[in-house]
Structure 1
Amino acid sequence: MTPDPRDENHTVSDEAIAWFTRLQSGDVTEETRRQFESWRAHSPLHAMEYDRVSSIWNDLGGLKSGADSRPLSKAPPVSPSTAVPSGITRRGASRWRASMVILLLFLFGGSFWLPDAWVRITSDHYTETGERRELTLTDGSTVYLDTGSALSVEFSPQIRRLVLDRGRALFVVAEDKDRAFEVAAGGGTVRALGTAFEVLRKPGGVVVTVLESRVQVSRDSSKTNLTSGQQIHYSSDTGLSGVAMVDREDIATWRRGKLVFHNQTLAEVIEEVNRYHKGTILILDPQLRSSKVSGVFDITDPGLVLQALQDTLPIKILRVTDYLVLLDQAKTPAPAS
């Protein structure tokens, strides 16, 4: 099975939008510019996605970029329909411009909804954002679908095959000595050698975690067997990773409405929270992405997760709408003289 290029493109597209927004904010430092140039030069795909975002914005007429008007992210003059409303302060105007950039890109970019619509059409089972569902298959196996997930079922007299088109699922496999049980996801295959396992498909690749018994994970010509409490990652870039141990109590906590993070980056946390948020949360400051997060969060209310993060990290939250949230570096107050 060939890897799905939409996985990588989705992540790079999000990063390109975040960079474009930050460069239009009117508060760009030389360090930010250096970080941007490094990101853009990382691969032709990065440059292509940034140019695509910039092109979409130029087609819309653009917004004046405030104090920052260097050639790095050119923008045409302000059009009457996008002029900053009266009564907004200079600092507020920068935030407003940045918010409008993202909002209009969401409205007109198109790429945010087309893959989702395609998955809806081609999958047998689909969950909306915030929805979780339990499925009983014809062989007696049970599948627990997490939020924003899609699954296709391809059973035959010879094999029980499923395709995780997106999202995450926990599979509890019924015994059938005549037919193997396989789950395909992101260019790899997971074959059940026992009872229960979880598969997560995300833009950066696929994560397989075993809750009970054993599975065999294969990608290209590589194969690895996992037992209870073990986990493996794979992607189109890295192939199969090494086997890691995980706490069995942390597996599939999403079924109870909880997410558990152990010293993970804020970028990883927000990527996960975004799966439950009806909209998108974007990190504007690249340095924030590497901030470390640990804790147990109630994912039934993503807003409370953001509030908890704000209580522990130097971040500020700008809620443009209920569907668009921006995270940026909080300014450290100057010490009292």
Structure 2
Amino acid sequence: MKRRQASAAAADPEGPPLVPKDVAAEAAVWITRLHGGHRTPQMEQECRAWQTRSAAHRLAFERCTDTWQDVASLTLAGYATATATRELAGSRRAGRSWTRRSGLAVALVLVASALALQPLKAGDAYDTGVGEQRIVVLRDGTRLSLNTSTRIQVDFAEAQRTVKVERGEALFEVAKDASRPFVVHAAGTEVVATGTAFLVQASPAAKPGDQALAVTLVEGQVVVRSAASEGRLLEKPWVMVPGQRLRLSRSDEAQRPATATRVDRPQMDQVLAWRRGEAHFDNVALLEAVDEMNRYDRVPIVVSGTAGERRVSGVVKTGDNASFAEAMASLHGLVVRNHGDRLELIQP
């Protein structure tokens, strides 16, 4: 009883919000899955692990659990009747109390119904603009974190869950389902998983030698292989282990738009720094750092002359090219020229 009262107090709309919308949506997904027909001990373990991420995750799950228990017999007709009764009563305080309880209940019921009963639609597309990030929770419980300038398409079928990364960067935290592999198509390859976490970055067409694709495995296991429709971009499938990054670069052969270059083990904190709005540079060329910063800002930086050869190290905030340009100018004795649509770094 104390837990329920604490949850209700935390949900008071008069106080500051404690649970982000994306976390609340994920909690609704977990409640739906746990009350579905395919509950397993593994699913329960994964849900407990999800709750340990933060106090907000635990609170969101408690709220959804309380609501599910309170409104097992709630119907939309009952919701409409209660709404009319509340409006006739004209009690502002009672209205707020009812809205907190029944409004949340209806929201959860609608979310649960959509997730549990509605067929998975093919061709759902999600995208982000320059400097924008977005979290998407798919109907199987998979969580996608989309970085700047990203576009993906989702197509779920009975035998396979498919996502196509048309451009950009996405972190996949895949819900386990051994009967339906999770396949990500990007840059002529397929990344195959059942339940794991991995990062995919796909670059648009560019000159030979540029990176076409990077796959970084955070946990679990994935297999990276050539897509059947693209020929043999990879000589063989790569079975990745946690901590590895597989990078493909563009070839100058028309029939082989990408070819495997190398597998390394980057610092995971640096690879995922974009989720905190940061970029990590470790003795990289200024030109390379500028290319990374330009992904997050609509006013790009251009580097003239030999200035791009200067080295950069440190942690910087993304989405603020003006401050970055000024900092680089001060550090390396350069000059910043503001042309309105671009910032230019030049040697004086």
- Relative to the length of structure 1, the TM-score reads 0.57
1:207–1:234 contact (8 Å) kept in structure 2? yes
What letter matches 1:153 in structure 2? Answer: V
2:167–2:203 contact (8 Å) kept in structure 1? yes
What's the offset of the Cα at 1:308? 2.3
1:193–1:216 contact (8 Å) kept in structure 2? no
Q: Alignment partner of 1:152: what SS?
A: strand
Post-superposition Cα deviations, 1:18-62, rounded to whole Å, max 9, x if no partner, equal xxxxxxxxxxxxxxxxxxxxxxxxxxxxxxxxxxxxxxxxxxxxx
What letter matches 2:140 in structure 1? Answer: D
Q: Give the equivalent residue in structure 1 for 2:343.
A: 325
2:124–2:155 contact (8 Å) kept in structure 1? no
Distance in 1 between residues matched to 2:330 and 2:193, nearest whole Å = 42
**Mapping 1:110-125, distance limit 5 Å:** 124-125=125-126
Moved over 3 A (4+): none
2:248–2:259 contact (8 Å) kept in structure 1? yes
Distance in 1 between residues matched to 2:124 and 2:292, nearest whole Å = 22
What's the offset of the Cα at 1:319? 1.0
What's the offset of the Cα at 1:142? 0.4
Bigger relative CO (Cα 8 Å, ≥ 6 apart): 1
Q: Give the equivalent residue in structure 2 for 1:223.
A: 237
Q: Give the equivalent residue in structure 2 for 1:276.
A: 296
What's the offset of the Cα at 1:192? 2.2
Q: What RMSD, in angstroms, separates the aligned Cα atoms of the two structures? A: 1.9
Q: Give the equivalent residue in structure 1 for 2:156.
A: 155
Q: Which has the larger radius of gyration?
A: 2
What's the offset of the Cα at 1:256? 0.7
What letter matches 2:198 in structure 1? Answer: F
Distance in 1 between residues matched to 2:173 and 2:139, nearest whole Å = 13
Post-superposition Cα deviations, 1:115-173, rounded to whole Å, max 9, x if no partner, equal xxxxxxx9811111121100011111000011111111121112111111111111100
Post-superposition Cα deviations, 1:4-24, rounded to whole Å, max 9, x if no partner, equal xxxxxxxxxxxxxxxxxxxxx
- Greater shift, 144-153 or 299-308, is seen at 299-308
Q: Which residue of 312, 320, 328 maps to 1:301?
A: 320
1:222–1:240 contact (8 Å) kept in structure 2? no
What letter matches 2:345 in structure 1? Answer: L
What's the offset of the Cα at 1:193? 5.3
Distance in 2 between residues matched to 1:327 and 1:193, nearest whole Å = 46
1:181–1:192 contact (8 Å) kept in structure 2? yes
Q: Alignment partner of 1:157: what SS?
A: coil
Query: Could you say if the C-alpha distance between residues 275 and 176 of structure 1 is closer, same or farther in structure 2, counting changes exceeding 3 Å?
Result: same
**Structure 2 residue runs without a partner (length 5+):** 1-122, 205-209, 227-231, 252-257
Count of matched residue pairs: 207
Q: Give the equivalent residue in structure 2 for 1:80.
A: none
What's the offset of the Cα at 1:194? 4.2
Q: Alignment partner of 1:162: what SS?
A: strand
**Structure 1 residue runs without a partner (length 5+):** 1-121, 332-337
What's the offset of the Cα at 1:306? 1.9
**Mapping 1:242-261, distance limit 5 Å:** 242-261=262-281
What's the offset of the Cα at 1:280? 2.5
What's the offset of the Cα at 1:267? 2.2
Query: Could you say if the C-alpha distance between residues 313 and 216 of structure 1 is closer, same or farther in structure 2, counting changes exceeding 3 Å?
Result: farther
1:123–1:165 contact (8 Å) kept in structure 2? no
Query: Could you say if the C-alpha distance between residues 225 and 265 of structure 1 is closer, same or farther in structure 2, counting changes exceeding 3 Å?
Result: farther
1:194–1:212 contact (8 Å) kept in structure 2? no
Determine whether 1:128 maps to 2:105.
no
Q: Give the equivalent residue in structure 2 for 1:202.
A: 203
Percent identity, please.
30
Q: Alignment partner of 2:262: what SS?
A: coil
1:148–1:275 contact (8 Å) kept in structure 2? yes
2:171–2:200 contact (8 Å) kept in structure 1? yes
Distance in 2 between residues matched to 1:293 and 1:282, nearest whole Å = 15
What's the offset of the Cα at 1:313? 2.5
2:146–2:171 contact (8 Å) kept in structure 1? yes
1:193–1:213 contact (8 Å) kept in structure 2? no
Q: Give the equivalent residue in structure 2 for 1:267.
A: 287
Q: Give the equivalent residue in structure 1 for 2:116.
A: none
Q: Give the equivalent residue in structure 2 for 1:310.
A: 329
1:250–1:260 contact (8 Å) kept in structure 2? yes
- Relative to the length of structure 2, the TM-score reads 0.56
What's the offset of the Cα at 1:189? 1.8
